[in-house]
Structure 1
Amino acid sequence: MAVNYSFSFTSPAKPVQKLIEYSYNEFLIDLPVHWKPVPSTESNTITFQSGIEDASIIISADFYDIPPSKAQAVAERCVESRLSVHEQQFPARVEVIQRSIHAHSGGVGLELSYAAAVPGDHMFVYLGYVTPRKILNFTLVCGPDRSKASTLFNATIQHFRPKLP
């Protein structure tokens, strides 16, 4: 019995998605044109919304002098306070799926993350940084589908370039 198969050495062409670069003092982000900046009443905060994705991205920076000896405590407090806001919005419904705090691979501080779900309602996917001079936050808020949230987060975060420290 002979098995016959073939494959192509070239990958199929993917449609090129037009990205818009948003450049700020503390980060750069490239987003598809359907993500629109939305004015915020909070200083040091920018929000982007996409009707196509039915999602929002909220990026903020808070500036502090954070001594290395206090960074871990600040990071833990940051994650706890952010999760408590979700809990206030959706009492007794928030499920924390994942959370972590670890040293940033570039050695410039700590990297924080969590994923939290409000079943049937929302997903919150967060990435943050605690450095000697600031806390930088990136939060994706989207629908309840965990797989879609993960895919959307991975697609957007690869175009997020924080300026650290």
Structure 2
Amino acid sequence: MNKAIWLLPAAALAAAGGFFYYRAQHASALPAGIASSNGRLELNRIDVASLYPGRVKTMQAEEGADVKAGDILAELSSDTSSSRLEEARAAELRQREAIQRAQAAGEQMRRTVARAEANIEAARQQQRVAKMEWDNARKMLSDNLVSPAEAE
């Protein structure tokens, strides 16, 4: 009877071990859609950088997602860039206005020069007329056609 008490738990233990061994050998190891393999993974690390500094506004790609060249990964806040662009546009506008002012001043200067040249030409004409009158008065004086008081 003493042997029977030990045989029953030993038989139950042997049956349980056999059951788990059989199940492990004949059961599918993985659920459908999942495969198993031995191998080695290698990481291809790629650093991503932006041409311009700024804060990340939104992330378009999740970490570990497959992406290809040209995909937008993140959107940077454009506050700094847009303010720089506006400053550059304002500077360009100021320079264009300065050019227009200089061109207007140049045009005004050309008109002033043209007036001065016209005045010089008028003075030359007056000088020629005065010389002709002087020469005429001297000739008339030498021909005794006028008195010396009239010649002056």
Q: TM-score range by the shorter chain?
A: under 0.3
Q: Which has the higher helix share?
A: 2
Q: Which has the higher strand share?
A: 1
Q: Structure 1-normalised TM-score?
A: 0.18
Report which structure shows greater RCO (CA 8 Å, sep ≥6): 1
Q: Structure 2-normalised TM-score?
A: 0.19
Structure showing greater radius of gyration is 2
